[in-house]
Amino acid sequence: MVGALPSAAVPTSVQLGDHTRRHIAARLLPFLFVLYVANYIDRTNLAYAALGMSRDLGFTDRIIGLGIGIFFVTYVAGQTPGALLVERWSAHRVIGTSMVAWGLLTMLTAEVRTPGQLYLVRFALGAAEAAFFPGVIVYLSHWFIREDRAKATSNFMAAIPLSFVVGSPLAGWILGHIWFGRAGWRWLFVLEGIPAILLGAVSFFFLTDWPHQATWLAPAQRDWIQHSLREEAPSSSPNTSVWHALTSCTILVLATATFINYLAMYSFAFWIPTMLKSFSGLSDVRVGVLGAIPYLVTFVAMQVNGWHSDRSGERHWHSAIPIFLAVIGALGLISQPRSLFVLVAFFTLGANIYSYLPTFFAIPTETLSQSGAAAAVGMINSFGSVAGFAGPYAFGYLHAQTGSFSYGLAGMAVAALAGGMMILFAPRSTNVP
């Protein structure tokens, strides 16, 4: 219990805390948001480029599915090391280097002409992007107290649906043009790789690793945020925390749930353009525009979900409900509704699975020390990201073999239902052996 303060000093302390929290949010969140928009556009633009690559290069669904999936081989391998590098070395160096590397590799994808070349460049792209997402999740825990963490993560992860809102119509427009004798899908990779390189260079100078290094905060603000974060930190040694994170029953259950949920999430993200075009028969440009609508709704849902989770202090139900809505969307799409409105509504429910991410990843950062949280986030996302290979590839294989999306959609629904249930029944404490 802190000693009693004069009544006049209490509002001053509260005002200092509120001002510091707003200052940190205004400084970091918009920039990190833009970085993640660039990240997700570069990671998923193959979904739209595939419409042109299949025509120009004769790439089948199976080739595209393997090209999508092979990205996650190296992406998985680099998750935990990347998160620990951010924790123990430097966030701005890891994030900046990652962005410049993946931007260059995205541009290189424009030169692909054979399946082998596609697999090679996607393999390298996964390694370049591996440290970014877990690194930022850990980085947010350096700056945001528990009361603000899900909102901060929601603001950051809102870049996922917005990247589709921006990227879908942009990709559709670029695909419809030929410049200097080069197909639109090649320009898609070039034009969407450049922002990552520029933003990565800016990250080296703009991001600050720790509050005590923040010259853009007043001394009193630096003291306040450091003191607040120390008070919330679990009392355990770094080495014990890392081992504890990797062996905790709670973290293992959450990692398994992530794998199952990512099967549905990545299958949906990478195959929505192809499914939407097949179901609607619309042009590439119109598919791009309609493909943005589900993610615009998800953008709003993600903010509301994170805000309400912080307000109530509840994480598990706020993570599970968006997943259950995605189950309804996948099952609805199996019927292939003739109404365009109903079709987009089911796609919107499916896309809403992304709304579970901010509240879900708040769980390990609130229950483990800093090094333990870094290891946990890296392990959870790396284990889950194996599904980034398995899900899209299996979905493409099933469609190629059966000529129908129904089997893949049914598999997505079953996976999402199981993943949501696992989150609900996961132990609430990492102390469970």
Q: Output the pLDDT for position 245.
A: 58
Rounded-to-integer distance, Cα 383 and Cα 182, Å: 38
Confidence check: pLDDT of 243 > 70: no
Contact 129, 121 (CB under 8 A): no
Query: For the chain, what percent of residues have pLDDT higher than 90?
Result: 22
301 by Cβ neighbours in 10 Å (0-12 / 13-18 / 19+) ranks as buried
Asked if residue 28 lies in contact with residue 141, where contact means CB atoms within 8 angstroms, the answer is: no
Burial 109-140 (b: 16+ CB within 10 A, else e): bbebeebeebbebbbbbbbbbbbbbbbbbbbb
pLDDT digit string (tens) for 347-373?
999 988 988 888 887 777 665 555 566
User: pTM to 2 decimals?
Assistant: 0.70
User: Rounded mean pLDDT of 52-62?
Assistant: 83
pLDDT beyond 60 at 131: yes
**Of the candidates 105, 71, 49, 45, which has an alpha carbon nearest to the alpha carbon of residue 393?**
71
CB 161, CB 273: distance < 8 Å: no
* Contacts of 343 by beta carbon, 8 Å cutoff, 6+ apart: 276, 279, 280, 333, 336, 337
> Do residues 392 and 68 make contact, with C-beta atoms less than 8 angstroms apart?
yes
User: Cα separation of 161 and 274, whole Å?
Assistant: 18
* Winning range, highest mean pLDDT, from 75-89, 234-248, 330-344, 387-401: 330-344
- The pair of structure tokens assigned to 230 is 């120390």
Residue 274 CB partners (closer than 8 Å, separation 6+): 47, 50, 51, 61
Q: Which of 77, 82, 76, 117 is nearest to 99 (CA)?
A: 82
Q: Per the structure block, which two tokens stand in for 329? A: 């969307």
Percent of the chain with pLDDT over 70: 89
Residue 56 and residue 169: Cα distance in Å, rounded? 21
Nearest to 34 by CA among 168, 155, 173, 169: 155
Q: Tell me which DSSP letter residue 4 carries.
A: P
Fill in the DSSP letter of residue 176.
T
Amino acid 167: pLDDT: 75
Contact 332, 413 (CB under 8 A): no
Lowest mean pLDDT among 36-40, 95-99, 323-327, 384-388: 384-388
Rounded to an integer, the average pLDDT of 154-170 is 78
Range of 117-121, 243-247, 290-294 with top mean pLDDT: 117-121
For residue 131, which of 84, 163, 199 has the smallest C-alpha distance? 84
pLDDT digits (tens, 9 = 90+) for 303-320: 888 888 878 878 889 999
pLDDT of residue 202: 95
Domains and CATH numbers, the chain: 20-425 (1.20.1250.20)
